[in-house]
Amino acid sequence: MPGFENAQQNQVDEIVQAMQIELVEEDIEQHVAAEYLYSQHISALVPQCPPAEATECDKECWRFTLNPITDNCFWPPKRRSPQRIASDDAQECSMWALSMYESEVQATRAYTMLAKNMKNIKKAIGDHLARGLVTCSDGKCMPANRKGHFDFHPYVDADFANGFQVIRALP
């Protein structure tokens, strides 16, 4: 019965095709771990860097920069001053992150406090305030502290820095 065999084969073909589609969809849904910009420096830190509480985030943030903004405005403290010594791995991890603030007011307040203790603050971290966005595809954010500061760990291919714009000079 050639017609019966063809009907069975058609059913098998439909099932196999459906199975292949499901497998392809599963492969697409699997999340690929992103590489951090400073992975070579942070991968050996214990227990992990960035810490487990760091999450991908979509948020507006503020950062101290120069005017005009240059590439080194987005260097972490450890890259700016490699001689800095961390007291432990958690501090070392933080030194490879970018400092950001949740609001303009919090950033300005922090800058004023830092300026009291840093003679060369304008050269070290900038003299202007920039605003920008970081997204889930840019990296991971630590939870902000009570002063609105948070560490941001960028991914290798993140392009968030181009979205930052200077909004004003700092006091």
Please tell me the predicted confidence (pLDDT) of residue 46.
79
The edge-to-edge listing of strands for the beta sheet with 98-101 is: 55-56, 139-141, 149-154, 98-101, 59-65, 128-134, 165-169
* Same domain for 48 and 26: no
Question: Do 103 and 23 fall within a single domain?
Answer: no
Could you tell me the pTM of the whole model?
A: 0.78
- Look up the domain containing 21 and give its range: 1-30
- Do residues 82 and 161 share a domain? yes
Which CATH number fits the domain that encloses residue 113? 3.20.170
Query: Is the domain of 17 the same as that of 96?
Result: no
Residues 8, 70 within the same domain: no
Q: What is the pLDDT of residue 5?
A: 56
Beta pairing, strands 165-169 & 128-134: antiparallel
Residues 70 and 47 in one domain: yes
CA distance 73 to 75: 6
The domain tally of the chain equals: 2
pLDDT of residue 8: 56
Mean pLDDT by 10 residues, the chain (171 residues): 55 53 45 78 88 96 97 94 92 96 98 95 95 96 98 93 95 90
Q: Is 52 found in the same domain as 22?
A: no
- Phi, psi dihedrals of residue 125, rounded to the nearest 5°: -130, 0
